[in-house]
Amino acid sequence: MAESNGSDGGPDHVAIIMDGNGRWAQNRGQPRLFGHRAGAARVREIVAACPDLGIRYLTIFAFSTENWKRTQAEVTGLMTLFRRYITKEAQALLAQGVRVRFIGDRDRLEPKLVALMNELEELTAGNDLVHLTVAINYGGRDEVARATKRLAREVAAGRLDPEDVDAETLARFLDTCVLPDPDLVIRTSGEARISNFLLWQSAYAEYEFTPILWPDFTKENFAEIVGRYAGRERRYGGVQS
């Protein structure tokens, strides 16, 4: 994995579980997809805020492997929203210096969406100001299982000695192999769980759980949480000298 180089004690890589879209819509007497559309618009603001906050890497949880359990109407609506977001935002992301990557299992996603994802990754591949990673059909356990399969194939083919396999070896097979581990994980909406998000990568991340629903999560809220992070002491299992 790449190394994290946060400046001024702030996080270099922030990961966000964007929760609360459905409740936000229901509180307004609207269908859940109304909240998802509002949430997509909020992503634009948070991405734009990253450079001023010294954040080079932002990873957002857009759709989990468990989200297929939602109603067919909601799932279909979300997939349509993803396609529209990519099409609408592609040129703006390119102009803003944002490099976009997608993580997760693409096999279950519709081909049109996958094609758009591939195109956006290629279009923004030369950017380096902000690295935006979008997790779609992603689950931490699923990612580790897929990584283990790839590692096992390397062992079976004789390209990797089982005795050489360690934590760093497995990390090279994860979807996030080119990214630093997250320094800070934020979950909106008041839920205090990680919901199978970046399980391996977040082993030493700091966590913030905020009651604010994602569509209401402003750049000011974001800056406040990032500011609090700078006051935390990260010891990685050690003790203060």
- Catalytic pick from 67, 127, 196, 221? 67
Catalytic residue status for 164: no
Write the CB contacts of 62 (distance below 8 Å, at least 6 apart in sequence).
Answer: 18, 82, 134, 135, 136
Annotated active-site residue 19? The verdict is yes
Count of C-beta atoms within a 10 Å radius of residue 132: 22
Q: How far apart are CA 201 and CA 42, in angstroms?
A: 25
**One of 5, 8, 19, 221 is an active-site residue; which one?**
19
Interhelix angle 32-53/72-95, nearest 10 degrees: 30
User: Residue 159 gets which letter from DSSP?
Assistant: S
Length of the chain: 241
Q: Which residues contact 144 (CB under 8 A, 6 or more apart)?
A: 170, 174, 199, 200
Amino acid at the residue 201: Q
Q: What is the sign of the dihedral through the CA atoms of 191, 196, 199 and 201?
A: negative
**What does the block give as tokens for 9?**
């004690």
Active site (catalytic) residues? 19, 67
